[in-house]
Amino acid sequence: MTAAPVVARTRDELATARAALTGGDTAVVMTMGALHEGHARLIRTARERAEHVIVTIFLNPLQFGPKEDLSRYPRTFDSDPAICTREGVDLVFAPDPRRHLPRRRPRRAHLRGTARRRPRGAVPAGPLRRDAHRRRQAHAPDGR
């Protein structure tokens, strides 16, 4: 039988438990709880790719809008660790939102006008930038 994972509820507990996972890579599967077979497949994939697996179970109230019903989201922490045990998870981090989030809902900034626009011809970093560069090369008269 597989040993039950360590359950950390605070950042300090997480740091201590994480430090005990020595050698090899660590994969993290982030969830909002209510674990099901889809989560189990993610955990198995993580296990195939790393020696240690951490599952986070955190129902973040900030992910819900004012018209979305946080109170109706399933909370199944009593059964979630059983799936983690079955799948061989090493560590579960399940913090209490009341301890890890600000007391008031944070203000959100909405950028408008020129602060939001990119300068003409600017392309974000990464694949889009490379693609834009290739397109410019293809259309340049001398091929450069």
pLDDT digits (tens, 9 = 90+) for 55-90: 999 887 777 777 777 777 778 888 898 999 999 999
Which are the catalytic amino acids? 39
Q: Grade residue 41 by pLDDT with cuts at 50, 70 and 90.
A: very high
Q: For the full predicted model, state whether its pTM sits above 0.75.
A: no
Classify each residue of 55-92 as buried b or exposed e, where b means 16 or more C-beta atoms within 10 Å of its C-beta: bbbbbeeeeeeeeeeeeeeeeeeeebbebbeebebbbb
* pLDDT tens figures, 87-141: 999 999 999 877 766 666 656 655 565 555 555 555 555 555 555 555 555 555 5
106: how many CB neighbours lie within 10 A of its CB?
A: 8
